[in-house]
Amino acid sequence: MNPKIEVKRSVCPYDCPDTCGLMVETVEGKAVRVTGDPDHPHTRGTLCSKMNHYEKTVHSPERLTKPLLRTGSKGAGEFKEISWEEAIFHIKERWQGIIAEYGSQAILPYSYAGTMGVVQRNIGEAFFHRLGASRLERTICSSAKGYGWSAVMGSSLAPHPQEVSASDLIILWGTNILATNIHLLYQIREAKKAGAVVWLIETYQSSAAQFADKVIMVRPGSDGALALGMMRVLVDKKLIAEEFVAQYVQGFEAFEKESLPEYSLDAVSKITGIDAASVEEIGILYGKARAPFIVMGSGLSRYGNGAMTVRAITCLPALVGAWAKVGGGLLASIGTGSAFAMDSIIREDFMQEPTRIVNMNQLGHALQQITNPPIMSMYVYHSNPAIVAPDQNAVVKGLLREELFMIVHERFMTDTARYADLVLPATSSLEHSDIYRSYGHYCVQRAYPVIPPVGEAKSNWDVFRLLASAMGFEESFFEQTTDEIIQQLLESPKPWLEQIDMNKVQEGMAAELPLPPDYKITFKTPSGKIEIFNPREIDPFPTYKPSHGDDAPFWLMNAPGLYSLNSSFNERPDLLEKRKAMYLMMNPYDAEKKGFKNGQEVIAFNERGEVVFILKIASEVPSGIVVTEGIFWIKNTPGKSSVNALTSQRLTDRGAASTFYDTKVDVRSFH
Ligand SMILES: Nc1nc2c(c(=O)[nH]1)N[C@H]1C(S)=C(S)[C@@H](COP(=O)(O)OP(=O)(O)OC[C@H]3O[C@@H](n4cnc5c(=O)[nH]c(N)nc54)[C@H](O)[C@@H]3O)O[C@H]1N2
Ligand SMILES: Nc1nc2c(c(=O)[nH]1)N[C@H]1C(S)=C(S)[C@@H](COP(=O)(O)OP(=O)(O)OC[C@H]3O[C@@H](n4cnc5c(=O)[nH]c(N)nc54)[C@H](O)[C@@H]3O)O[C@H]1N2
Ligand code: SF4
Ligand SMILES: [Mo]
């Protein structure tokens, strides 16, 4: 008899705005095929090339299946298998000793976005609040972007992605949607069929350029000046939507008089490297479009001036009244957190007193500083800081500290896990329950386990429950199962969630949070208007300020790749093959000046580190910029470090975020 094939729904757990619906075929408790869910309103049955074979990740021979205790020296990757009972006992003993000597704040959790599930991603915080551990400021990704948007728009709802279909001018501003937001292509194609024009504003010709009618190449970190220059063009060419501005915008008149005069075409051209005629052209095109729509990526926010850049760009749709038009607006990120009772998961009330906060972008400093108390233990879950955190050499130095007791809960033996004293095996999303929301659409979707745990893997919450019991926490909170917690979330009185189709949610189908009819012109700011003038800011009007930079000749773009997601998918030989090698793309003119040949090994370096790359001569990259796409585990690199050995721990102007792209390097031949 043929084995029975079952098909069950699930959700893509990765940190990607699309949050696709999955159909998983299983045979005898194993996932054998993963396809897209045709009933998902946004992702419509297609997946990206990474997730088309998710079963290869889930059943990878490299999956961790048992707890491991370090036997060799730190970082040597030598471990022996132990039981879960031994592992939990070991953690309890070490933590009790550390707490007695240094206090509980000597323990630091480190997590980010290995899974985006509402419960498994966030609930560890309840445990660490109860423990009294230091808190992690989780700002590695897009908090500067969020800050910039909120400074102008408050907590206004972001436009539904369907709006893009009705636009006649789509500006992809610093986003490679082919890699990071592939399902938005559906709306872009619909708009193009109806005659829309697509512009891409980038630092190099990324793969998204193939969808653009025109590519504008901007000097890294200077987009704020471009936006201000476009606004000045709108004023000079009398393309301001005066009625809309009078009714819905705060402070335009003063902005026009006090700030905009500085941003002449020449001044903007000098800052951005874009010729004056093109700045004028894009300003006029934007002002004359029927319903212009900006899709804003996060790359441009990862600079010392990132929040301000986002603030300036976010003002553009207000000046032309795009918010009042079907198909007009700006999409930075969709926020649906308010639909859920997040406080019931994070449980700040478990904290007896406010504990120390450590910024995750400054892990290197934090681990090495002899702060009071020093960090004596770190518990890493669903994150890979040895690879994704900036200033890799500083981070690794910290991880090598002999007295640091380090626990890593992971699916794979990542570079971070190699530095652990104790490695705990984690379930993949197909093996545990969760509920998902998205930052690219308005759907909510519940996922039930579709296969049993691989080996002895446990979910994030199940490990925290064991640890809570070992540490003697008596709160009934720690006795709940994941499904009980999800059920409570769904039943908690939240007005937005109450409007959703709950039957669909319980069946594991994607259901959309409804949007009020006039949401695009309802501005949830203190003034009730779009705040071009924001009196709560030190700079009440948007302005251009330079980014940090380094004293080196080439800007280093470390952009997302098509076949990886942050450091995830390095376990997949099929995807590594498509990536070929860790390339450094360089303009032919720069390569010639350096005497480099295509395919040779080169070293990119700056004051923080050195990284070996394979040189790829590429006319897509302008002179003065080098580009590397995707993040590699060390064993998949040509050298002994990866791109974050070059990035810095400096923070953004606001939002305390990472500044990955605000990095400069020089390049020399390896031999
Ligand atoms: N395939 C794939 N998908 C992903 C990810 C991935 O690594 N791979 N990462 C996921 C995560 S965590 C996130 S946060 C999102 C990010 O998704 P996006 O926000 O779309 O991507 P970013 O990494 O922010 O950068 C996008 C682009 O910004 C460009 N850029 C850099 N500096 C500037 C600048 O100064 N000006 C302009 N105009 N452009 C600039 C870069 O060249 C890059 O191509 O994607 C998610 N999806
Ligand atoms: N140079 C450079 N560095 C970057 C970026 C960049 O553009 N350039 N992007 C940055 C951005 S935007 C982000 S968001 C960060 C992301 O950084 P991270 O959130 O650390 O993301 P990943 O590298 O995908 O690592 C997630 C890990 O979680 C594990 N995992 C998956 N599911 C689970 C689970 O359920 N439980 C547990 N315990 N583990 C699980 C995976 O195996 C994987 O190793 O990286 C940042 N780093
Ligand atoms: S990574 Fe993004 S595009 Fe790919 S399946 Fe997951 S949610 Fe969809
Ligand atoms: Mo991110």
The string of pLDDT tens digits covering residues 461-517 is 999 999 999 999 999 999 999 999 999 999 999 999 999 999 999 999 999 999 999
Q: Considering only CA atoms, which of 480, 507, 212, 520 is closest in space to residue 347?
A: 480
Q: Is the CB of 174 under 6 A from ligand 1?
A: yes
Same domain, 441 and 526: no
User: To which residue do tokens 């240094």 refer?
Assistant: 102
Q: Is the CB of 426 under 6 A from ligand 2?
A: yes
- 515-521 — which CB contacts under 8 Å span 24+ positions? 515/157, 515/160, 515/442, 519/156, 519/157, 520/157, 520/159, 520/323, 520/324, 520/329, 521/248, 521/323, 521/324
The answer to whether residues 179 and 301 touch, using CB atoms and an 8 Å cutoff, is no
Give the C-alpha distances (Å, rounded to integers) separating 309 from 18, 198, 649, 656. Answer: 25, 21, 20, 15
Same domain, 183 and 41: no
Residue 327: its pLDDT value, please? 98
Is residue 89 scored above 80 in pLDDT?
yes
Average the pLDDT over 327-351 and give the result: 97
The CATH number given to whatever domain includes residue 594 is 2.40.40.20
CA torsion angle 509 514 520 522 (round to 10): -140
What CA–CA distance (Å, rounded) separates 604 from 623?
15
The answer to whether residues 197 and 171 touch, using CB atoms and an 8 Å cutoff, is no
Is residue 371 scored above 90 in pLDDT?
no
Q: Is the CB of 14 under 6 A from ligand 3?
A: yes
Q: And the tokens for 66?
A: 């048992």
Q: Which ligand is nearest to the CA of 52?
A: 3
How sure is the predictor about 601, in pLDDT bands with cuts at 50, 70 and 90?
very high
What CA–CA distance (Å, rounded) separates 345 from 478?
11
What CA–CA distance (Å, rounded) separates 607 from 474?
50
Q: Is 393 helix (H, G, I), strand (E, B) or coil?
A: helix
Q: Is the CB of 168 under 6 A from ligand 1?
A: no
User: To which residue do tokens 């007193």 refer?
Assistant: 353
Q: In whole numbers, what is the pLDDT of the chain averaged over residues? A: 97
User: What are the pLDDT digits (tens) for 6-35?
Assistant: 999 999 999 999 999 999 999 999 999 999
Q: And the tokens for 252?
A: 């335009």
Q: Considering only CA atoms, which of 100, 274, 280, 289 is closest in space to residue 201?
A: 274
Residue 378, beta-bridge partner list: 108, 406
How sure is the predictor about 208, in pLDDT bands with cuts at 50, 70 and 90?
very high
DSSP state of 430: G
User: What are the pLDDT digits (tens) for 220-263?
Assistant: 999 999 999 999 999 999 999 999 999 999 999 999 999 999 99
Q: Is the CB of 187 under 6 A from ligand 1?
A: no
The answer to whether residues 630 and 564 touch, using CB atoms and an 8 Å cutoff, is yes
The CATH number given to whatever domain includes residue 12 is 3.30.200.210
Give the C-alpha distances (Å, rounded to integers) separating 306 from 30, 80, 553, 560. Answer: 45, 45, 21, 18
Asked whether residue 513 is assigned to any structural domain, the reply reads: no
Residue 369: its pLDDT value, please? 84
Q: For a pocket test of ligand 2, which of 58, 388, 458, 562 has the largest count of ligand atoms closer than 8 A to its C-beta?
A: 388
Same domain, 349 and 430: yes
21 Cβ contact list (under 8 Å, min separation 6): 9, 11, 12, 36, 37, 39, 40, 43, 445, 509, 510
- Closest ligand 3 atom, CA of 183? 3
Q: How many CA atoms lie within 13 A of 310 on its CB side?
A: 32
Same domain, 186 and 303: yes
Residue 3: its pLDDT value, please? 86
**141 CA from centroid of ligand 1 (Å):** 10
Q: Considering only CA atoms, which of 526, 514, 394 is closest in space to residue 444?
A: 514
Q: Is the CB of 446 under 6 A from ligand 2?
A: no
Predicted TM-score of the model (pTM)? 0.98
DSSP state of 28: T
Is residue 383 scored above 80 in pLDDT?
yes
- The protein residue whose alpha carbon is closest to atom 3 in ligand 3 is 48
- The protein residue whose alpha carbon is closest to atom 23 in ligand 1 is 299
Specify the DSSP element, H or E, that contains 344: helix 343-346
Average the pLDDT over 147-153 and give the result: 98
61 Cβ contact list (under 8 Å, min separation 6): none
Same domain, 304 and 197: yes
Same domain, 174 and 305: yes
Share of the chain above pLDDT 90, in %: 99
Q: Is the CB of 419 under 6 A from ligand 2?
A: no
Same domain, 469 and 569: no
Asked whether residue 536 is assigned to any structural domain, the reply reads: no
**Domain with 29 in it:** 5-58
The CATH number given to whatever domain includes residue 90 is 3.40.50.740
Q: Is 498 helix (H, G, I), strand (E, B) or coil?
A: helix
Residue 515: its pLDDT value, please? 97
Same domain, 442 and 317: no
What CA–CA distance (Å, rounded) separates 288 from 218?
22
Asked whether residue 474 is assigned to any structural domain, the reply reads: yes
Same domain, 342 and 237: no
Is residue 1 scored above 80 in pLDDT?
no
What CA–CA distance (Å, rounded) separates 540 from 527?
14
- Closest ligand 1 atom, CA of 563? 1
- The protein residue whose alpha carbon is closest to atom 36 in ligand 2 is 382
DSSP state of 50: T
Asked whether residue 591 is assigned to any structural domain, the reply reads: yes
The CATH number given to whatever domain includes residue 330 is 3.40.228.10
Asked whether residue 508 is assigned to any structural domain, the reply reads: no
Q: Which ligand is nearest to the CA of 180?
A: 1
Residue 25: its pLDDT value, please? 98
Same domain, 601 and 479: no
612 Cβ contact list (under 8 Å, min separation 6): 601, 602, 603, 637, 638, 639, 640, 641, 670
Q: Considering only CA atoms, which of 30, 33, 8, 11 is closest in space to residue 22?
A: 11
Is residue 354 scored above 90 in pLDDT?
yes
User: To which residue do tokens 């400096």 refer?
Assistant: 650
**17 CA from centroid of ligand 4 (Å):** 10
Asked whether residue 541 is assigned to any structural domain, the reply reads: no
Average the pLDDT over 621-638 and give the result: 98
**175 CA from centroid of ligand 1 (Å):** 5
**641 CA from centroid of ligand 3 (Å):** 27
Packed helices 143-153 and 306-319: angle between N→C axes, nearest 10 degrees: 40
Q: And the tokens for 212?
A: 């653009």
Same domain, 132 and 150: no
Q: List the end-to-end C-alpha distance of the chain, in Å, as a whole number.
A: 61
151 Cβ contact list (under 8 Å, min separation 6): 307, 311, 314, 531, 534, 537, 654
Same domain, 223 and 319: yes
**503 CA from centroid of ligand 2 (Å):** 33
- The protein residue whose alpha carbon is closest to atom 6 in ligand 3 is 12
Q: Which ligand is nearest to the CA of 660?
A: 2
Give the C-alpha distances (Å, rounded to integers) separating 482 from 535, 628, 664. Answer: 44, 39, 45
Is residue 622 scored above 80 in pLDDT?
yes
The answer to whether residues 570 and 417 touch, using CB atoms and an 8 Å cutoff, is no
Average the pLDDT over 44-51 and give the result: 97
Q: Is 36 helix (H, G, I), strand (E, B) or coil?
A: strand
User: To which residue do tokens 């551990």 refer?
Assistant: 133
Asked whether residue 544 is assigned to any structural domain, the reply reads: no
Q: Is the CB of 47 under 6 A from ligand 3?
A: yes
Average the pLDDT over 1-9 and give the result: 90
Average the pLDDT over 67-86 and give the result: 97
Asked whether residue 539 is assigned to any structural domain, the reply reads: no
Q: Considering only CA atoms, which of 536, 550, 15 is closest in space to residue 311?
A: 536
530 Cβ contact list (under 8 Å, min separation 6): 152, 153, 248, 249, 250, 315, 318, 323, 523
**How many independent structural domains does the chain possess?**
4
